[in-house]
Structure 1
C-alpha cells in the first residue's frame, strides 16, 4: 500500500535529499549566522614602504679599438684582462712605409722652404728697384706671383708632412682611456686593416646604473627618498641623472640612468635592485587577499563584507591604497570572509 506524504513532510524530504546530494548547498543554506570579524582603521595599518625594480651597472665606455692604418702586427703589448692607462701603447704595426713617406714629405718641405726664401728675397729686391724706377712694373708683379706661389707650395708640403706624421703615429694602437682589455682580436704577424677590430676596452672606473621603470614608477621615484642600488650584499647610494625619452613598445617602460655617488669594485654588468623609499604610505602585503583573479582588501560596511580590488597591487608587495584613512578593514577572518557576506563586528 502506498503512503502519501503531506506538504510539510514532502518539503522536509526534498531538503534532506538535496542536502545529501550537495552538502555545500545545504551548508550554505543552513549556515546563515554572520561571520565574526574585527575591524581596524586603514590609518593604523599603513606604513612607510620601499619599492624596488631590477637594475644593472653599465660602463659609460665599452669601446672596440681598431687599427687606423694598414700594417703587419709586429708587437702585442697587452692581453685579455690587462689593466691599461690612457695613452698606453697596446700594439705596434710595421711602420716602414709610413716613415718613408714622412721622410719624403720632410725633404719636399725643405726644398719648398728654400724656394720660398729665394722668392721672398727676389720680391724684396725688386720692390727696391721699382721704387728707383729701374724695374718695370711687370717684373715686380712676376716676383710677387713667384713669392705667393712659393708660400702656397710650403703650405701644401706642410700638409703632406702633417698627414705622414699622423700615419706614423697611428702605427701604434693606443688606449683612449684607462680601463681593462676584455677582448684581443689582433694576432702577432697578422695584417691589420683600417677599421678592423683590435681590442675591446672596458672603462671600469666610470659606471652608471640602468633601470627600466614604468611611467608611474618614474614619477614616484622622483619623489622617493634613500635611493640606492643593492647587489650581492653591497649597497651604493645613487642619484637619478636622466630619463630616456622613449617608451619601450613591449614593456611600456622607460630607461632611467643613475649616477653612482660613491666608488665601487662591482663589475660592469652586475645585476641587482634599485631601491627607494616610497613617498606614499602603503598597505603591507599581508593584508592583501585574492578573490577570483583580483588582489584587494576586505572592508566592513553596514554589517557586510565588501571586497575592494587594487588593480596595481602585486603578490607579495606592499600596495598603494586609494581609500580614506578612516576606512575600516576587516582584520580577523579577512582571508575567510567573502564579498557580500554578513558580518558581526567584535571587539579586537
Structure 2
C-alpha cells in the first residue's frame, strides 16, 4: 500500500506543468531547482478616453512602435475649444473690471465690497477657464512610454463614450520574469539571487536575478510568486513568452 502511495505522489509531481523540483537529493542536477515562468511587461496599459467625442486621428496600427510623447489619439474638440475661448474672454473682462474697481476704490468712488466682488468674479472665471483648458488638453492622448500597439479597440471617425478603451500598448524592451516556485524554497530565496531563464520560443538562456518575492504563499498549490530582472540584453524578447528558470544546485 505504501509503495502505491509513493508511486502516485511521484506521478502527480511529474505531471505538474508548473514546477519541476526534486523530491530527494538523489535527483539529477539537470532537473534540480527548476520552475516555469513568463515574461511580463513592466510597462503596459489600456489607453482609454476621458471625454465623449469623435476620434479624428489614431496614427499607430497594431504592431507599430512609438516613442514616449507621440500622439496616440486625437478627438474633435471644436466645442471644448469654443468653450475655452469664451471662458478666456470672460476672464479678461473680469480682470478689467477688477482693475477698474481698484482704481475707483483709490479715489473713494467705490467701496471695498465692490472690489471684493470683482476679485471673486475673476477667480471664478479663472477656474472655469482652467476646466475648459483641461478638457481641451484631453483631446490629445500622448504615449506615456516607449512601446508598441498590441490591439486597436477603436477606429478613427468613431464616436466613443468616456472611459471607452482605445488601445492596448506594451513596452517589450522593459520586461521582467514572473515565476511560481515551491514555498519550501522560501528560506533560500532572496533579492539578488542569480538564475537563468530560457524562453521556449528562443531557446537562448538569459541571465537574471531575483528582484522581489511575493507577499503570500498560495495555500492550495504551496507556491510563492517571484519576480526577476533580466540582465542579458536581447531585443527579440516579447511579453507573454514562457520558459524555464534554472537555479543553482547550491540553492
| C-alpha deviation, 1:75, in angstroms | 2.0
CA distance in 2: counterparts of 1:213 and 1:161, whole angstroms? 55
Contact 1:209-1:257 at 8 Å conserved across structures: yes
Equivalent runs, 1:161-240 vs 2, <5 Å: 161-222=129-190, 226-231=194-199, 232-240=202-210
Aligned counterpart in structure 2 of residue 259 of structure 1, from 209, 229, 233: 229
Residue of structure 2 in register with 1:143 after alignment: 111
Contact 2:192-2:211 at 8 Å conserved across structures: no
CA distance in 2: counterparts of 1:48 and 1:223, whole angstroms? 23
Residue of structure 2 in register with 1:69 after alignment: 51
Equivalent runs, 1:50-199 vs 2, <5 Å: 50-126=32-108, 143-199=111-167
Residue of structure 1 in register with 2:6 after alignment: none
CA distance in 1: counterparts of 2:192 and 2:129, whole angstroms? 59
SS at the partner of 1:257?
Answer: strand
Contact 2:212-2:226 at 8 Å conserved across structures: yes
Residue of structure 1 in register with 2:244 after alignment: 273
CA distance in 2: counterparts of 1:242 and 1:143, whole angstroms? 66
Question: Over residues 162-217 of structure 1, what are the superposed CA-to-partner deviations in whole Å (9 max), with x where a residue is unaligned?
Answer: 11111111112221111110010112221121100000011212111100012212
Question: Over residues 117-162 of structure 1, what are the superposed CA-to-partner deviations in whole Å (9 max), with x where a residue is unaligned?
Answer: 0122122333xxxxxxxxxxxx8xx622222222222121111111
SS at the partner of 1:234?
Answer: coil
Contact 1:224-1:276 at 8 Å conserved across structures: no
For residues 239 and 96 of structure 1, do their structure 2 counterparts lie closer, same or farther at Cα, with a shift above 3 Å needed? same
2:215 corresponds to 1:245: yes
Contact 2:191-2:209 at 8 Å conserved across structures: no
| C-alpha deviation, 1:224, in angstroms | 9.7
CA distance in 2: counterparts of 1:76 and 1:263, whole angstroms? 32
Contact 1:73-1:93 at 8 Å conserved across structures: yes
Gaps of 5+ in 2: 1-25
Question: Over residues 279-330 of structure 1, what are the superposed CA-to-partner deviations in whole Å (9 max), with x where a residue is unaligned?
Answer: 26xxxxxxxxxxxxxxxxxxxxxxxxxxxxxxxxxxxxxxxxxxxxxxxxxx
| C-alpha deviation, 1:48, in angstroms | 7.2
CA distance in 2: counterparts of 1:224 and 1:103, whole angstroms? 56
SS at the partner of 2:112?
Answer: helix
Higher Rg of the two aligned structures = 1
Which portions of structure 1, spanning 4 or more consecutive aligned residues, are displaced by more than 6 angstroms?
Answer: 45-49
Contact 1:75-1:188 at 8 Å conserved across structures: yes
TM-score (norm 2): 0.81
Q: RMSD across aligned C-alpha pairs, in angstroms?
A: 2.3
TM-score (norm 1): 0.59
State how many pairs are aligned. 222
CA distance in 2: counterparts of 1:154 and 1:89, whole angstroms? 34
